[in-house]
Amino acid sequence: MNPILEVKGLTMDFGGIRALDHLDLHVNQGEIVALIGPNGAGKTTFFNCLTGLYKPTAGDLLLTPPGGRTRRLGGLKPNHVTRQGLARTFQNIRLFPNMTVLENVMIGRHCRTRAKVLGAIFRDRRTRQEEREIVALSISILEELGLADMINEFAKNLPYGAQRRLEIARALATEPLILLLDEPAAGMNPQETRELDELICRIRDKGLSILLIEHDMKLVMSLSDHIFVMDYGRKIADGTPEEIRTNPAVIKAYLGEDVDDA
Amino acid sequence: MLSFKDFGRACVVALWFMVLTFPLMVIKVNPIDRVITWRWHNMVWVGVGSFLCYLASRAWQIHRDARLRRIRLGQEEEKEPLSRRILQNPSIYRPLLAAGALFFLAFPGLFSTYQTNIMITALMYVVLGLGLNIVVGVAGLLDLGYVAFYAVGAYAYALLNLHFGLGFWTVLPIGGLLAATFGILLGFPVLRLRGDYLAIVTLGFGEIIRLILENWNEFSHGPSGISNIPRPGFFGIQMSLDQSITYLYYLMIGMVLFTIFVVNRLQNSRIGRAWFALREDEIACQAMGIDKTRTKLTAFALGATWAGMVGVIFAAKTTFVNPASFTFLESAIILCIVVLGGMGSIVGVIIAALVLILLPEYLRAFSEYRMLVFGAVLVIMMVFRPQGIVANIRKTYRVEEG
Ligand SMILES: Nc1ncnc2c1ncn2[C@@H]1O[C@H](COP(=O)(O)OP(=O)(O)OP(=O)(O)O)[C@@H](O)[C@H]1O
Ligand SMILES: [Mg+2]
């Protein structure tokens, strides 16, 4: 079976800097795949290329929905990539701060709904029905993520950990096939990180595939089915958590950068 | 508490204001007798006044900062803003609304034709403000050339009437559609621009339209404009001037209600949410699957539509259009209405439009100082309430039980 996401020879140049260098990577349906690497390795740049925010210099991005035809993602605009089934969170949280928690999630429904200007003005049956569905679905997602008691708060007033969860909720509202998480545990306390661990498992159990950038090695090792390691825009290793733990190239890359509890 | 430094600053501020207002407040030239009167006592007033005002504002600031600190430390509950408390409590806003409705319905009967005329102008700015509010307040696209769409509407009526004899009611929607088309035309080239760059290009667009109207004599009759534009008709009934002004007044009331209805529904819809999200974070917005191009263009087009329709009404009201009515100052005033009212707030924009248009009219008693007062009100508002009269209010939802 084809992997749901396949990246071939992805290269991204910023002027003279090569942030991604012929990167190959794949995600199988229903897997949690982690992408790790020292700071500045190009992980976020990879997400940006994948989601259409950057236009890659070279390479192929192929999405194969279960039971569907393979599609090229390269060159699509970000909103079309999201429609195809890739939803992401951001390393530095990018919520809509002056909208309520619920509205943030409702925005995620935008690409799956269709009400137009006239529908909005006349509020015909279909529009009202659609609006009710948007609200109901958004609330159920928020309930799942434990945010249901703050749906009318402004997003900017939420505590940090809740903001991270809200970003995930918003991404889930787009009904993605693959969820891309950029350092979701950053800035979370151990308790919140444990909850995040369970949450990601729950999302996977629903049939989503997950691509995870994370610096918290404990989380990565416990969650991942497969790990890709990057350094200087290149893939330096990939394999199961066991293989990565003992891989000399990985140890070298990490010991050069930070000597955390990795 | 006020510190010694604050008193020092207050002195500097007072001095600065004394210098700044020197030519206006102190020197008075009498060209007939060829004498100059030096009114030094005015300078003392300005000095003392600005000294005290500065201290008062400082004291208020210190008080506010202390309260914010206590709120952050959790020693004090955060108070709901006054505007929100009023707008979310039906037993307060219902009577207010009823009183307002009664006042506006009875207005032409209570006041002179002159006053009614002023009120019509104010109501036109309410609609213009609500229209620009879609573009600037809701979608966050700083448009400084909004008056161009107003001009398109006004000239649409003037020219279509002149050449084809089309009536007011026929041109009203045509003017709106034409302005929407221009909105999209302007929208396309500026899609990539944001903030200051967008502001400059839209400013240029506004000036281009005005310059075309001024210089293309065969098309627009140049600076002399077009006159004898018919007032709006009512099933062909002949009306006296007073009657037609009263008629126009109620027409404008209807227009305002229609605008409020539509704008409110738009804001609370899928599209309205997308506009808000676009204002908040363009990149996150795209990543959530919103088509940036289309969303911006609908905002431009729908905002422009209102300007176009009010333009038609303007031409019908004054029975005369020329390019001088569509200068940058108009755009600036409409923008002031939106910013002062509170970006994205319908109630705020209505209040701001009424205040900003009626205030200078009723300040005519203070003729030479009225623009000064006007400016001062704007500055004070922006210092003490940068979020506008009515701060951002979002719709609240309930979680259904069971
Ligand atoms: N828009 C850009 N223009 C120029 N250079 C960029 C741009 N975005 C990223 N880079 C460069 O690409 C390299 C990879 O950056 P990236 O943010 O992808 O790293 P990362 O792996 O996400 O690091 P971190 O763990 O700190 O988040 C860096 O050297 C960065 O300076
Ligand atoms: Mg990063």
Give the three-class secondary structure for A206. coil
pLDDT > 50? residue A262: no
Domain final position from A174, A199, A222: A174
Mutation for A interface: B80, B259, B280, B291, most A CBs within 10 A? B280
B269, B285, B397 member nearest A135 (Cβ): B397
- Domain contains A159: yes
- Domain contains A215: yes
Question: Are A7 and A72 within one domain?
Answer: yes
- Domain contains A37: yes
Q: Distance (Å, rounded) from C-alpha B273 to C-alpha B270?
A: 5
Going by CA atoms, what residue is nearest to atom 25 of ligand 1? A39
**Residues of chain B positioned with their CB less than 8 A from the CB of A172:** none
A53, A107, A131 member nearest B288 (Cβ): A107
Q: How remote is the C-alpha of B81 from its chain's centroid? A: 22
Give the three-class secondary structure for A250. helix
* CB B135, CB B143: distance < 8 Å: yes
Residue A68: pLDDT band with limits 50, 70, 90: confident
Shortest CA distance from B262: residue in chain A: A121
Going by CA atoms, what residue is nearest to atom 26 of ligand 1? A39
SS3 labels along B160-191: HHHHHCCCHHHHHHHHHHHHHHHHHHHHHHHC
A78, A131, A148 member nearest B287 (Cβ): A78
Q: Distance (Å, rounded) from C-alpha A189 to C-alpha A169?
A: 19
Determine the pLDDT at residue B401: 47
Domain final position from A174, A190, A223: A174
Give the number of whichever ligand sits closest to the CA of residue A230.
1
Question: Are A197 and A76 within one domain?
Answer: yes
Q: Distance (Å, rounded) from C-alpha B140 to C-alpha B195?
A: 9
**Beta-strand pair A209-213/A178-182:** parallel
* CB B174, CB B156: distance < 8 Å: yes
Determine the pLDDT at residue B386: 75
Question: Are A19 and A37 within one domain?
Answer: yes
Question: Are A120 and A50 within one domain?
Answer: no
Q: Per DSSP, which regions of B267-357 are E strands?
A: 320-321
Q: Distance (Å, rounded) from C-alpha B243 to C-alpha B190?
A: 44
Question: Are A65 and A33 within one domain?
Answer: yes
> What was the ipTM of the complex prediction?
0.91
Ligand 1 atom at shortest distance from the alpha carbon of A54:
1
Task: Flag whether residue B88 sits within 8 Å of chain A, measured between CB atoms.
Answer: no
Give the three-class secondary structure for A101. helix
Q: Per DSSP, which regions of chain A are E strands?
A: 5-14, 17-27, 32-36, 58-63, 71-72, 86-88, 178-182, 209-213, 226-231, 234-239
**The domain that contains A48 carries what CATH number?**
3.40.50.300
Average pLDDT over residues A128-147: 93
Domain of A16 in residue numbering reads as 1-85+176-262
Q: Distance (Å, rounded) from C-alpha A27 to C-alpha A41?
A: 19
Q: Which amino acid is residue A62, in one-letter code?
A: L
Determine the pLDDT at residue B89: 76
pLDDT > 60? residue A2: yes
Give the C-alpha distances (Å, rounded to integers) separating B187 from A78, A183, B130, B141, B303: 20, 37, 19, 10, 11
A98, A106, A154 member nearest B273 (Cβ): A106
Question: Are A185 and A241 within one domain?
Answer: yes
**Residues sharing a CB contact under 8 Å with residue B134, sequence separation 6 or more, in sequence order:** B263, B266, B275, B299, B302, B303, B306
- Domain contains A90: no
Question: Are A2 and A115 within one domain?
Answer: no
Binary contact (A88, B281; C-beta < 8 A): no
* CB A104, CB A95: distance < 8 Å: yes
Domain final position from A122, A148, A174: A174
pLDDT > 80? residue A17: yes
Q: Which amino acid is residue A19, in one-letter code?
A: A
pTM: 0.87
Angle between helices A125-144 and A160-172 (to 10 degrees): 140
* CB A204, CB A168: distance < 8 Å: no
Task: Flag whether residue B84 sits within 8 Å of chain A, measured between CB atoms.
Answer: no
Residue B194 Cα to ligand 2 middle (Å):
25
**Residues of chain B positioned with their CB less than 8 A from the CB of A97:** 280-281
Residues at CB less than 6 angstroms from ligand 1? A 14, 17, 19, 37, 39-45, 91
In chain A, the number of structural domains is 2
Mutation for A interface: B270, B293, B398, most A CBs within 10 A? B270
Question: Are A248 and A170 within one domain?
Answer: no
Ligand 1 atom at shortest distance from the alpha carbon of A215:
25
Angle between helices B147-164 and B292-318 (to 10 degrees): 50
Question: Are A149 and A200 within one domain?
Answer: no
Mutation probe of ligand 1 site: the residue of A20, A44, A50, A260 with most atoms within 8 A of C-beta:
A44
Ligand 1 atom at shortest distance from the alpha carbon of A38:
25
Using alpha carbons, select from B229, B253, B213 the residue that is nearest to residue B168.
B229
Shortest CA distance from A137: residue in chain B: B399
Question: Are A243 and A199 within one domain?
Answer: yes
- Domain contains A91: no
Give the number of whichever ligand sits closest to the CA of residue A13.
1
Angle between helices B113-132 and B90-110 (to 10 degrees): 140
Task: Flag whether residue B285 sits within 8 Å of chain A, measured between CB atoms.
Answer: yes
Q: How many CB atoms lie within 10 A of CB B84?
A: 14
Portion 151-210 of A in contact with B at CB < 8 A: 151-152, 154, 170-171, 174
- Domain contains A167: yes
Q: What are the tens digits of pLDDT across the range B268-288?
A: 999 999 999 999 999 999 999
- Domain contains A181: yes
Residue with tokens 């062909």: B236
Determine the pLDDT at residue B269: 92
Question: Are A182 and A154 within one domain?
Answer: no
A78, A136, A152 member nearest B286 (Cβ): A78
Question: Are A1 and A75 within one domain?
Answer: yes
Residue A259: pLDDT band with limits 50, 70, 90: very low
Q: How far apart are the first and last CA of chain B?
A: 53
Alpha-carbon dihedral B14, B16, B22, B23, rounded to 10 degrees: -150
- Domain contains A234: yes
Q: Average pLDDT over chain A, rounded to whole?
A: 91
Instruction: Read off the tokens for A238.
Output: 């990939």
Instruction: Read off the tokens for B278.
Output: 């676009």
Q: Give every residue of chain B whose pLDDT is below 50, as ranges.
A: 401-402
